[in-house]
Amino acid sequence: MSPFLFWIFALLTVIFGAAVVVNRNPVASALSLVVSFLGLSALFMSLDAFFVGIIQVLVYAGAVMVLFLFIIMLLNLRAEEERRINWLALAGGVAVALALLIQIFLVISRFDPARKTFPPLPGSTIDDVRNIGALLFSNYNLPFQIVGVLVLVATIGVVLLSKRELR
Amino acid sequence: MAITVPRPNLSWRERLYLPAIVAGLAITFKHFKNMLLGRTKVTMQYPEQKWDANLPDHYRGAPALVRDADGRVRCVACQLCEFICPPRAIKIIPGEIPSTDRFAKVEKYPDAFDIDMIRCIFCGMCEEVCPEQAIFLRKDYAITGFTRADMVHHKEKLLEIGGVMHGVVLKWNEKK
Amino acid sequence: MDSLFIITSLLKILGILFVVILPMVSYAVYAERRVSAFIQDRLGPNRVGPAGLFQPIADMFKLLLKEDFTPRAANTFYYWLAPCLAVMPAIITIAVVPFGSTLFGVPMVIADVNVGILFVFAIASLGVYGIVIGGWASNSKYPFLGGIRSSAQMLSYELSLGLAVVPVFLVVGSLRLTSVVRYQIEHGWFIAPFVGDWANPWKWLLAIPMIISFLVFMIAMFAETNRLPFDLPEAEQELAGGYNTEYSSMKFALYFLGEYAAMITGSAVIVTLFFGGWHFPGIPDGSHGWIFGLINIAVFFAKVAVMIFFFMWVRWTFPRFRYDQLMRLGWLFFFEIALVNIFLVAAIIPFYRS
């Protein structure tokens, strides 16, 4: 992919990521986040990681954000629009973000492999779905199973909590 | 008062719903197929086919003024129809028949007789109330126009629809 | 990237969009009206042109000339954005669906990505934003309720939709839609295992979970495309049209277009996954001559048309579900069935392969 497209999608991701914070309207924030996710997934795809990219859209943009939007609409959050800006908190946030940015910059500049261009992997196309599956069920089988149990526990917990609420 | 509707207890086969779903699809498909094969009777294709010849005698279409056998307008502008008209569709401007006229005893004639067909509800009250049997509901039903003004039937139009009505009418009778 | 690839891709995109999908959408609307009329013993639109065939053109002019009204209380930007969001995903998903074999050696699929079906799901799941945003931006009660219903419905049915197709890919071993079609050419359609190695008894056993999978997928697709019996977001009788109540003119038409485009792409995906795509027994693929390539495309869209007819047939047969029934059906019935189905197929596959 040409660097031109990379810059477009990178800018899209960053600008709409900022819009999530800047927007006063919660629905607009949620939608900005969706666009940001789309940009991110395009970046993944530019690295030939189709699976990760598409899962990004499917799970985050397609499911999680719809749920967010659903909740925002149900609660009808109007208070956020009238809230005044706390300049001190704003300054603090910017300082933390800047510190993080500088840190990342310093780390990357010292990290040699980041500046090296790797030779392309053998084969014209990579079946990344197969690779991820093979990796998950061989090298990372135990963590994978543990995550599965964790999600199951969380699901049961949610069911229990909501049942108690009903009674 | 709350009414508890008793729900029927479904057997397991009914609870499966699949037979009912398939049966429903079969019914609709039967209708579709019959229509496609031209076996279903459908409604009349209106502008091409008309039911005009079969309209009953008591059909209430557009109200119209009639002339008698001698070609005279029967209406005497008594304005009873104007008063009785439920949607107030009729507007009459009476004119006076001069005393020198042969029919001076009739006194009035309609100078203008407008029926707003947007308002008219085809109830037939005007016909019922008319003492002179001058207004009748005819069999015209397709009344159209491009403007609101088009939809107002003036006297000429009403007389044109009405035509001639035969029968004895006493008001023109000089002897009485 | 060579220029030939770009030119053929561009031709494919333009061809599929303007020659096939958009006319198909407008004629799907016409077909819907005719089918519904026939099912209800009526005639339907039959005035404009022979048998009413020019009705879609007349409808288009009518919708273009109508007043394009924006309510004062609406959030204008999102109000204008929403109809576009409703149309785009439905049209984009067709990109990964193989709609023919080859024509002059060019494969008849716009983008043959290796995550084909996930791409379809991902983009189709974005279609809900058009409805939700439209409902919210209208700033009116009925559209708002429609939008909320839509988001909840999409979330519940996306799960069964995704799980229902897992068996297909367990058997095929790839998410690429062209490989699914190629597999079905060699081993028979998933829904009809008559072709290929039909003597294998395990294959017939495999057909049972495949049919279950097909039914769950199709029903979930009904819910995804907001078709009856799951058209709760636009329920005319309860919500006065739901999310598109406040829309008029071409913006309303865009919603209409989106719904029918989603139906067409949904049918195309079903045909690809379960009905062998462009394959028809006895007809060779496009490498035997361009005429066969064209026939393959025709076969594919004929199958899609049959599927669309089925969508319509179902719509005019069944009443609408109640909201809680819809949710219970999705979460407590289809979800479980789809899960059990995956285990079934996974258990059969080792025997089938051997």
Q: Cα–Cα distance between B43 and A147 in angstroms, integer?
A: 65
Q: Which of A40-49, C107-116, C302-311 has the highest mean pLDDT?
A: C302-311
The number of beta carbons lying within 10 Å of the beta carbon of residue A25 is 16
* DSSP symbols for C163-180: HHHHHHHHHH----HHHH
Question: What is the ipTM for the molecules in this complex?
Answer: 0.77
Half-sphere exposure of B27 (CA within 13 A, CB side): 9
Beta bridge partners of B135: B65
Question: For residue B176, what pLDDT is reported?
Answer: 43
DSSP-derived 3-state class of residue B77: coil
Q: What is the pLDDT of residues C15-47, one digit of tens each?
A: 878 888 888 888 888 888 888 888 888 888 888
Q: What is the pLDDT of residues B87-133, one digit of tens each?
A: 998 989 988 888 787 777 778 888 888 889 889 998 888 888 888 78
Pair B65, B159: CB distance under 8 Å: yes
- A71 versus B85: the higher-pLDDT residue is B85
Q: What is the pLDDT of residues A10-33, one digit of tens each?
A: 898 999 988 888 887 788 888 888
Q: Which amino acid is at A153?
A: V
Handedness of CA A108, A110, A113, A115 (dihedral sign): positive
How many helices and strands in chain A, by DSSP H and E? 8, 0
Q: Which of C4, C22, C180, C5 is nearest to C91 (CA)?
A: C22
Q: What mean pLDDT do residues A130-152 have?
A: 87
How near does any CA of chain C get to the CA of A101, in Å?
A: 32
How near does any CA of chain C get to the CA of A106, in Å?
A: 36
Q: Which residues of chain B have pLDDT under 70?
A: 166-176
Category of B122 on φ-ψ map: left (φ > 0), alpha (ψ -120 to 50) or beta: left
Among B21, B25, B35, the residue with its CB nearest the CB of C41 is B35
Chain B residues within 8 angstroms (CB to CB) of chain C: 21, 24-25, 27-29, 31-32, 34-36, 40, 42-43
pTM: 0.78
Query: With 90 as the cut, is the pLDDT of residue A100 above it?
Result: yes
Q: What is the CATH number of domain A3-125?
A: 1.20.120.1200
Task: Write down the mean pLDDT value for chain C.
Answer: 81
Q: What mean pLDDT do residues C94-121 have?
A: 77
Question: For residue A146, what pLDDT is reported?
Answer: 93
Q: What is the pLDDT of residues C193-249, one digit of tens each?
A: 666 666 677 777 777 888 888 888 888 888 888 877 887 777 677 777 777 778 888
Task: Write down the mean pLDDT value for chain A.
Answer: 81
Contact A73 C121 (CB under 8 A): no
Question: For residue A99, what pLDDT is reported?
Answer: 94
